[in-house]
Amino acid sequence: MSNPMIARSWRFTLLALWLCASAAAAQAPAGAGAAPADYLDMQARAAAYRAYADRWLALARTGDVAALAQTISPSMTARVGAEAVRRNLETRVVPFFAQAPGLGRSVTVTQTTDAFGHGGFAFYMYALPKDGAPRPFVLYVVDEGGARVVANIVVDHHVPDRHR
């Protein structure tokens, strides 16, 4: 006997746990202990991911949940369900960016690998709300099957030593 409410709750809980685990598993800031040539190589590789992140952030500020859902990792969507993805975007992500038309200038970039083994970069940033203090967020962009996708977006979570 399957209760649909329990199934939905379970998927949402899985999504929340994954979001927290991804934030906790992020690697050291880019360049920490790296040789200058390695750091410059990493920065060059991160540039295309940052451009994607910038386009995604502009889309997030439009509030188009359907378009945003299309940018989320297909692997994650398959794992947690399209409804859980839509609900997270609708209840957490879109309202977060609707209140913050601007972005802070501080960005920390790290290399990352999602739960499915897709590599990419995490961008630790701040949204600048119309009223109030800057609000931290992390946007994880990975390459999945030759396409850049958002592996995760964690809003209102400050990561020490990454959010500067």
Asked if residue 123 is part of any domain, the answer here is yes
Asked if residue 160 is part of any domain, the answer here is no
**Whole domain around residue 66: which residue ranges?**
4-155
Asked if residue 162 is part of any domain, the answer here is no
Domain total of the chain: 1
Distances (CA, A) of 119 to 3, 34, 152: 36, 19, 12
Q: What's phi and psi for 38, nearest 5 deg?
A: -65, -40
| Residue 29 DSSP class | P
Report strand pairing: 102-103 vs 147-155.
Answer: unpaired
For the segment 3-42, what is each residue's pLDDT rounded down to a tens digit? 554 444 545 544 454 544 444 444 445 445 567 787 788 8
Asked if residue 110 is part of any domain, the answer here is yes
Asked if residue 143 is part of any domain, the answer here is yes
Residue ranges of alpha helices (H) inside 25-117 are 36-62, 65-69, 74-80, 82-88, 94-98
Asked if residue 163 is part of any domain, the answer here is no
Could you read off the pLDDT tens digit of each residue along the chain, which spans 164 residues? 455 544 445 455 444 545 444 444 444 454 455 677 877 888 888 999 999 999 999 999 999 999 999 999 999 999 999 999 999 999 999 999 998 889 999 999 999 999 999 999 999 999 999 888 999 999 999 999 999 999 999 999 988 878 87
Report strand pairing: 147-155 vs 119-128.
Answer: unpaired
Report strand pairing: 108-113 vs 102-103.
Answer: unpaired
CATH number at 54 reads: 3.10.450
pTM: 0.77
Q: What confidence score (pLDDT) does residue 27 get?
A: 46
